[in-house]
């Protein structure tokens, strides 16, 4: 073993002068391996000790926390905090949540295969809710349709989600696209899907007649599978976050006029975040693949009503006076043409 004075000189030349091991060994006339051992031993001595684990206010309650989770693994941090507070725990909920994140295994994330569509293959349709915009006690709904290939967007606001209103929105969207996709995908909308049990779907017969008129196949997305209709859900979010804020509307007609202007000048003219292409330009290549349109479908609403003595009929939230054709429900003179 080298003398203490020689070891000190080795360390001085290495750390203070920055000499290499071979130069130190030649200068002091010692073996290079001996120089390396001295330097390594000193490096180990100078290395900081590993930090001691720090305790927290929750440490004394770890066993109790494990016992509570064993009873019910889904207990929330707020619920556990109430129990531990009664047993003397004085820490915060942040520490408790961090401990739960380490203790409870996270459920595996489900992997999805991205859906791809050919030009003209499919459209996706959904409603968006925008509340009582005009203070009339009537909710405003946004009918949104998007082409799955080009992401071209069509939107129309209505007061109603009846089947007739639903079909009228389809008619206006078909006219805007100047064609029809081979499939139209829906999120189990009541207007389209009459009943569903698992994968068995029964469509509204009147809606099926409408689909047969234009020749498209309706598709009801699986429950809880948001990725299947992600294109239209993204379109609704884009409408809500980009078009809606900061605007005022005189009435429903003004709302739709502003929506059409936004659709044509911005929404369909910007570079889409997913495709990195302009929807209007990409749709120009998709349009030849759409199914041709037939004559417009009759979407008129026919209602039978008994006219009261006041001669005022209620329809779609409004009351209007009956014409000469209306017959009062009580005895009285009947007007003639």
Structural domain spans, the chain = 4-44, 59-103, 122-289, 303-337
Q: What is the pLDDT of residues 26-70, one digit of tens each?
A: 888 888 888 888 888 866 555 565 666 566 888 888 888 888 888
Q: What is the CA radius of gyration of the chain?
A: 37
Q: Is pTM beyond 0.85 here?
A: no
Which band of pLDDT confidence, cut at 50, 70 and 90, is reported for residue 320? low
Q: How far, in Å, are 49, 55, 299 from residue 52 at the CA level?
A: 9, 9, 76
Distance CA 153, CA 125 (A): 10
Question: What is the dotted CATH code of the domain comprising 4-44?
Answer: 1.10.10
Q: How far, in Å, are 26, 74, 231, 276 from residue 144 at the CA level?
A: 83, 38, 11, 21
Distance CA 175, CA 299 (A): 14
Closest CA to 261 of 282, 275, 247, 278: 247
Q: How far, in Å, are 230, 286, 291 from residue 149 at the CA level?
A: 13, 8, 15
Distance CA 126, CA 144 (A): 6
Q: In the predicted model, is pLDDT for residue 100 greater than 80?
A: yes
Phi/psi region, residue 198 (left: phi>0; alpha: psi -120 to 50; beta: rest), is left
Count how many Cα atoms sit within 13 Å of the Cα of residue 149 in the half-sphere of its side chain. Answer: 20
Strands 122-129 and 183-186: parallel
* 3-class DSSP assignment, residue 319: strand
Distance CA 185, CA 187 (A): 7
> 122-289: same fold as 4-44?
no
Q: In the predicted model, is pLDDT for residue 327 greater than 80?
A: no
Residue pair 180/287 in contact by the 8 Å Cβ criterion: no
Q: What is the pLDDT of residues 186-218, one digit of tens each?
A: 987 888 888 877 778 888 899 999 999 999 999
Mean pLDDT of the chain: 84
Count how many Cα atoms sit within 13 Å of the Cα of residue 130 in the half-sphere of its side chain. Answer: 28
Which band of pLDDT confidence, cut at 50, 70 and 90, is reported for residue 310? low
Q: What is the pLDDT of residues 117-167, one digit of tens each?
A: 999 999 999 999 999 999 999 999 999 999 999 999 999 999 999 999 999
Q: At what angle do helices 77-86 and 62-71 cross, to 10 degrees?
A: 130
Q: Which two tokens stand for residue 16?
A: 């203070």
Residue pair 25/34 in contact by the 8 Å Cβ criterion: yes
Q: Which residues pair with 220 in a beta bridge?
A: 186
Using H for helix, E for strand and C for coil, what is the string for 196-254?
A: EECCEEEECHHHHHHHHHHCCEEEECCCCCHHHHHHHHHHHHHHHHHHCCCCCCCCHHH
CATH topology of domain 122-289: Nucleotidyltransferase; domain 5 (3.30.420)
Name the strand (E) or helix (H) holding 103: helix 93-103
* 3-class DSSP assignment, residue 25: helix
């Amino acid at each position: 073993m080298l003398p203490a004075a020689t070891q000190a000189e080795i360390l001085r030349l290495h750390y203070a002068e920055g000499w290499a091991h071979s130069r130190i060994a030649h200068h002091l006339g010692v073996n290079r391996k001996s120089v390396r051992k001295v330097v390594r031993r000193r490096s180990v001595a100078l290395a900081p000790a590993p930090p001691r684990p720090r305790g927290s206010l929750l440490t004394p309650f770890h066993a109790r926390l494990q016992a509570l989770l064993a009873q019910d693994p889904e207990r929330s941090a707020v619920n556990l905090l109430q129990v531990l507070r009664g047993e003397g725990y004085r820490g915060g909920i942040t520490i408790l949540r961090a401990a739960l994140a380490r203790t409870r295994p996270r459920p595996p994330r489900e992997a999805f295969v991205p859906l791809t569509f050919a030009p003209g293959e499919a459209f996706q349709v959904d409603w968006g809710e925008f509340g009582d915009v005009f203070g009339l006690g009537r909710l405003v709904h946004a009918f949104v349709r998007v082409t799955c290939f080009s992401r071209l967007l069509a939107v129309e606001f209505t007061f109603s989600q009846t089947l007739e209103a639903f079909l009228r929105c389809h008619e206006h969207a078909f006219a805007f696209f100047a064609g029809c996709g081979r499939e139209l995908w829906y999120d189990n909308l009541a207007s389209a899907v009459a009943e569903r049990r698992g994968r068995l779907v029964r469509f509204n017969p009147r809606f099926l007649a409408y689909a047969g008129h234009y020749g498209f196949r309706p598709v009801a997305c699986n429950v809880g599978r948001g990725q299947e209709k992600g294109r239209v859900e993204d379109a609704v979010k884009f409408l809500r976050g980009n078009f809606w804020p900061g605007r005022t509307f005189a009435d429903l007609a003004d709302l739709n006029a502003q929506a059409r202007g936004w659709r044509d000048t911005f929404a369909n003219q910007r570079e889409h975040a997913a495709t990195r292409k302009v929807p209007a330009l990409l749709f120009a290549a998709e349009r030849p693949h759409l199914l041709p349109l037939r004559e417009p479908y009759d979407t008129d609403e026919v209602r039978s009503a008994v006219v009261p003595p006041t001669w005022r009929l209620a329809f779609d939230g409004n009351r209007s006076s009956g014409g000469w054709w209306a017959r009062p429900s009580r005895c009285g003179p009947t007007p003639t043409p």
